[in-house]
Structure 1
Amino acid sequence: MIGGFISKSKFATISITGGKCSLNCFYCGSKYISTMEGTMGVEEFEKTVRKLNSRGVRGFLVSGGFDQNGRLPVDEFIPVMRKLKSELGVIFNLHPGLQDRKTIESMRDVVDMVDFEFAYSPGAYSSKGIREPRERYVKVLEDLIEYGPEYIVPHIMLGLPKDSSDYIEEEINEVSKFKPYLLNFLVMIPTPGTPSRMIRIDTSSIIPLIEYGSKVMNGRTSMGCMRPYSIKEDLDRYVVSKGLVQRIANPHHKVVEEFNLKLYDACCSLPEKYLEEFEL
């Protein structure tokens, strides 16, 4: 059964850098992290988690802006996350970026799942403008699978103008070698105030790539929360009707009704063992 995931009251997103990011990505320009619950420092982070938990929030996506090497500055937050997990029993999802092996190992008993943007294709890599070589994405994914938390979910961005179908298929093949728990697809949103604002997204170029990924991953795929509203209803209906994904984030309301989707109040990478706790 395909599940729909909508973060409402049990799951919250926190940016540990506030609205700051050293990258100026083609499709973001720090606009997306500015919508998150912002904290700047370990003490404020702890207070925010405790406050939200007291209001019924059970899971937290820890995200934020990256440095110029594509890395979330998470090291100093790991000890307090460990304490909060022990005391409150909360679930942590993390957007870590390109971490080193030591940090990845420290995450193992703290973070429940990792959302890892695999910006390995030429289009995705160039949109980031980071200092690290493109091959670092492969090495970090390998380390995450080998030494990191149990549930690793690579994210692949579709719709970037410098990418071809061949590039994305290569990216999917590279990810599938590591046999991750789930592969998540995002679709670039042309965003006002960024260079992406003039791009038009065509579903006819997106769907074959999701079909290919679903085939390579034996259906262990999901549709992430980033996709343009202009194509959302048609895209959601297609991937659900064809069974191309196991999970879909923020499904279009008409698709929810049409297919009677079971809904969960969480990020779509939530491990199956926690699903019952987050049913809507």
Structure 2
Amino acid sequence: MRDINQNSGKKINFFITSSNFPSISVTGNSCALMCKHCKGRLLESLIFATTCEELEKKALMLHEQGAKGILLTGGCDERGRVPVNNLIPAIKAIKQKTGLLVIAHTGFISMEDAEALKGSGLDGIGFDVLGDMGTAREVYGLEVPEKEYIESLRAIEDSGIMIFPHVCVGLHFGELKGEFRALEMIRTIKPATIIITGLMPVPGTQMAHIKPKPGDFAKVIKRAIEIFPDTPVVLGCAHSSGKDRAEIEMIALRCGVSGIAAPTMATVESAKENGYEINYYGTCCGLIPGEKTRIGKL
């Protein structure tokens, strides 16, 4: 691994979401899957909007408060789908009435639903890709063939919606299993960005005391950059906790990621000290940075 000082002169984008780009659960705190690493706990801190009327009202309020966009996410049904399509009329209204960027986590999706979301004005879709179907079964509780992941990737791409696939390091109880295969599966499309995330230890779950190995991020990030040399590879906002979080961010910097979401102050200061040209954006890290979403220094 290169010393960070050898990266002097490089650029790094830091993505700061919080009030700039809040997440909205379209299912409230409900999830049919109740995966072993989450048990629906990650939904509890989100804004809830389960109807078109509620979503439009809250989006307009967030726009007035200065938000640059919103992420629509939520719990999955028993087939691994997030019911974003139920809120298409609200998405259309939000896009017509505001300048908000609207992106979504859809889970598995059909061509028909992807085309409908494209028609709503949705700006992008983040899609989690698992490369090991044993992990899908043991962690998600889903019996699903690999082809369903590839079919969803292609459906999103063919619809014309920007797609930024996510690969989670250590989702299989903290161990690497399928991450490299997931990157190969993503090669079947042309993603806008590759997001590398990591298992988050969530209190009250079966994985509450499990963390991914920081060194495993280097392996996955390096492989992603090798496979996708012309595509931004970004460390997503979910990447462990505690002291491991800052360590993982430093590893990502050394590996040459183009961006880091929700960085620690230690990482920001280190990048400054080591001569990085830093740009800050108030948007989800999957979206391509632009002047519209640029924000001031931390």
Q: Does the alignment reach a TM-score above 0.5?
A: yes
AA partner of residue 154 (structure 2)? E
Against the structure 1 CA distance between its residues 277 and 224, is the aligned structure 2 distance closer, same or farther, given a 3 Å change threshold?
closer
Deviation at 1:148, TM superposition (A): 3.9
Cα RMSD of the aligned pairs, angstroms, is: 1.9
Deviation at 1:131, TM superposition (A): 5.0
Structure 1: distance between partners of 2:261 and 2:247: 15
SS at match of 2:237: coil
- In structure 1, list runs of 5 or more residues that go unmatched: none
TM-score, normalising length: structure 2? 0.87
Contact 1:156 1:184 in 2 (8 A): yes
Matched, 1:240 2:253: yes
Partner of 1:8: 18
Give identity over the alignment, percent: 25
AA partner of residue 102 (structure 1)? E
Contact 1:123 1:163 in 2 (8 A): no
Aligned length: 277
Matched, 1:185 2:196: yes
For 1:90-109, list aligned pairs within 5 A.
90-109=100-119
Contact 1:168 1:209 in 2 (8 A): yes
Structure 1: distance between partners of 2:82 and 2:233: 25
Match of 2:241 among 229, 233, 249: 229
For 1:14-163, list aligned pairs within 5 A.
14-109=24-119, 110-122=121-133, 124-126=135-137, 127-149=139-161, 151-161=162-172
Partner of 1:279: 295
AA partner of residue 116 (structure 1)? F
SS at match of 1:2: strand
Deviation at 1:229, TM superposition (A): 1.8
Match of 2:280 among 252, 260, 263: 263
Contact 1:59 1:90 in 2 (8 A): yes
Deviation at 1:232, TM superposition (A): 1.2
Structure 2: distance between partners of 1:51 and 1:166: 42
Contact 1:265 1:278 in 2 (8 A): yes
Match of 1:208 among 207, 211, 219: 219
Deviation at 1:80, TM superposition (A): 1.8
Matched, 1:251 2:263: yes
Contact 1:58 1:91 in 2 (8 A): yes
Contact 2:24 2:46 in 1 (8 A): yes
TM-score, normalising length: structure 1? 0.92
Structure 2: distance between partners of 1:124 and 1:157: 11
Structure 2: distance between partners of 1:123 and 1:186: 19
AA partner of residue 7 (structure 1)? T
AA partner of residue 227 (structure 1)? H
